[in-house]
Structure 1
Amino acid sequence: MRAYRLITEDDTSDFCHRVTEALSKGWELHGSPAYAYDESSGKMRCAQAVIKEAEGEYSRDVKLGAL
């Protein structure tokens, strides 16, 4: 199965740590990061898609962060 996640976070070092953690667990970057202003919180937000090949069949019960 090919798994997909979209990591989002406020524009802080926490975002970079979350992406780095995913990369260290075998996820790969998919496309460019996105950066946008969240008017409701008054903060900039970041997003990065990541993908990973994983064993097994897809199910909505799969915990993507645990892959």
Structure 2
Amino acid sequence: MVQRTSKWPLRAVVNGIFYVLKNGCVWRDVPADFPPWPTVYYYFGKWTADGTWQRVSGCLTLEARERVKKTPSP
């Protein structure tokens, strides 16, 4: 299976996802500064299903705990 490259930088996609989550708006209200809403929504669903968000959260939690000199795992 050939995987095609994305037309949009992943950083712009992540920023679009964060915009929706921060502002509580519907996906269709993603401003034109970000990739089109179907693209943003596609990646959000894909990364939710494959556990990417869980892994990111875990890594950020460990890093934050280590920064304040706590044990990595509560």
Scaled to the shorter chain, the TM-score interval is under 0.3
TM-score, length basis structure 1: 0.27
Q: Answer with 1 or 2: which has the greater Rg.
A: 2
TM-score, length basis structure 2: 0.26
The structure whose residues are more often helix, as a share, is: 2
The structure whose residues are more often strand, as a share, is: 1
